[in-house]
Amino acid sequence: MSKRIVLTKGLDLPVTGKAELRIAKTVTPDIIAIRPSDFKGFTPRLLIREGDAVKCGSPVLSDKKRPEVLVASPVSGVVKEIVRGEKRKLLAVVLQSDGRREALDFGKKNPSELDADAVKAAILEAGLWPFVIQRPYGIIANPADTPKAVFVSAFDTAPLAACPEFTLGDRLVDIQKGVDALAKLSSGKVHVGYNAANFNRSPLARLENVEKHVFEGKHPAGNVGVQISHVCPVTKGSVVWTVSLPGLAAIGALFNTGRYDVRRKVAVAGPAAIEPAYADMYPGSPMSTLGAFFGATDDLRVVSGNILSGENVGRDGYLGFYDNLVTVLREGYEPELLGWARPIRWKQFSTDHSYFSWLMPWRRYDLDTNLHGGPRAFVMSDAYYAKVLPMDIFPVYLIKACLAGDIDKMEKFGIYEVVPEDLALCEFIDPSKNDIQEIIANGIRLMLKEME
C-alpha cells in the first residue's frame, strides 16, 4: 500500500530542450577522468601510478580516513595521467581506455542469503560504496554506521531531468537486487518515492520489499531530501542513507553479475542543445564526445547536471560521477534596455508576475545564464523563499546562520535536513542574486570541520 503526499510549494521551470526518448549516441571514450571533487566527504589517497594497468572495478582511490571506501575504474586500460593543482592537490586521475571492458570478477552473490556485514563488504570491495550518501550533510556514508532508513527517489523533477522509466526501466532486476542488498544495511525500511503523475504506469512501481510513497507536486518534489523531510526527518544524532537509481542499479548488477558496471543513459538537453536526446556513456567521459549536440557555437555553457544545481564543466570537462543529465545553455551577456521596467517582455520568464508572460503558463522559454542584475541587499522574508521550498525549515534564518558561522543557529534552523540542491530554487528566484547553494555548502563544511 503506497502513501500519497501532496506538496503545495515548489516551481517547475518551463525550459525548452527536453531530450527525446531515444539513444542518439553511444560513447566509447578514449579517456575517462576520475575527479575526487565529485565525492563529498572523501579525502583521496592514490592507489595507482601513471602507467599502471587497470580493469573495470580496479581500485584507483581510497579515503584516507576510511581506507575501506574505494573509488574504482569504470573502464579497462592504463593510467594515463595524474593531474595535480596548487600545493599538489589531486584534481583528477585520467585513464586511457583500451575499449575491451575487461573487468574484475567479484563473484555473483545473493544478498538475501548474506548478513549485513557481508553485503557491506561486497559493495566496499567493488568500489560502489560512494553511491551510498549520508544525510545529514550529503557526504559519502560511513560504513560503520547503521542508518534508521534508506531512501531512494524514483523520479526527478529538476528541469529537463532524465526520464527514469526510459533510462532504467529495463534494469528492474538489478534495481530489485540493489534494494534487497540495502535492506540488509538499515535498522528501518527502504523507502522509495514515486511521482503521482505516472505511478500506475511506471515499471519501477513493481519493486518489492520497499515502503512506497507517492508525491504530488512541483519541483523539488523529486529531491530525496524533500521526501525524507516528509517521511522520516533527519534530526541531530540520526543518520539516513540515500542512493540514486543509477547507483542502485550498479549495486544490483554487482550482485547479479559480479561485475562493476556504472555505464548509464544520459540525457543531453537544454535550450542550446542540437536535437536533444540520450547518450549511452560512462561517468567521467569527456564532454567533447558529445560535440554533435553542441555544434560550433562558442558562447555555450555545458553543465554536468541540471541548470539549478549542476556544475559548469565546459566543453573540455567531464561527466560527473553522479550525473545522468548534461544541460547546454547559451551564455547571456547582452544588457537589456530598461531591463525589468520594460512593459512587455513576452520572451522572459518571471516567477513574480513581473511580465505578461505569466498569462501563458503553457509556454516554454529559451533560458540562458543571464542574471539580469547584480548582487544587492539581502532583505527578503522567509515567506518569499518558502513558497518554493516544501520543507519545514526557515530558509532565510538558516542562510543567515550559515553566513554568520553560527553553529547553534544552523542546527536550530535545519542544517541537518538540507544539502545545497534543496535550496536551488530559492537561489533561482532570489532577487538579491545571492549564491545560496554555496552559502549552504560552506555551512555544511563548517559543521563537518567541527566534527573532526
CATH of the domain at 193: 3.40.50
Number of neighbours of residue 58 by Cβ within 10 angstroms: 24
Last residue of a domain, one of 60, 78, 97: 97
Residues 36, 156 within the same domain: no
Residues 184, 63 within the same domain: no
Residues 147, 217 within the same domain: yes
401: part of which helix (H) or strand (E)?
helix 395-404
Q: Which grid cell is 152? A: 531512494
Residues 121, 234 within the same domain: yes
Residues 248, 139 within the same domain: yes
Q: Residue 306 falls within a domain, yes or no?
A: yes
Look up the pTM and report it: 0.94
Q: Are 29 and 99 in contact (CB under 8 A)?
A: no
Last residue of a domain, one of 290, 313, 340: 340
Q: Residue 372 falls within a domain, yes or no?
A: no
Residue 306: give the domain boundaries: 266-340
Q: Residue 347 falls within a domain, yes or no?
A: no
Q: Are 268 and 293 in contact (CB under 8 A)?
A: yes
Number of neighbours of residue 307 by Cβ within 10 angstroms: 25
Residues 131, 178 within the same domain: yes
pLDDT in tens, the chain (452 residues): 578 999 999 999 999 999 999 999 999 899 999 999 999 999 999 999 999 999 999 999 999 999 999 999 999 999 999 999 999 999 999 999 998 999 999 999 999 999 999 999 999 999 999 999 999 999 999 999 999 999 999 999 999 999 999 999 999 999 999 999 999 999 999 999 999 999 999 999 999 999 999 999 999 999 999 999 999 999 999 999 999 999 999 999 999 999 999 999 999 999 999 999 999 999 999 999 999 999 878 889 999 999 999 999 999 999 999 999 999 999 987 766 666 566 566 677 877 777 767 677 788 888 889 887 778 878 777 888 989 999 999 999 999 999 999 999 999 999 999 999 999 999 999 988 899 999 999 999 999 999 87
256: left (phi over 0), alpha (psi -120 to 50) or beta: alpha
Instruction: Report the C-alpha gap between 330 and 272 in whole angstroms.
Output: 6
Q: Which grid cell is 387? A: 513558497
- Cα–chain-centroid distance for residue 362? 27
* Domains in the chain, number: 4
Residues 315, 447 within the same domain: no
Instruction: Report the C-alpha gap between 158 and 160 in whole angstroms.
Output: 6
Last residue of a domain, one of 75, 97, 119: 97
CATH of the domain at 53: 2.40.50.100
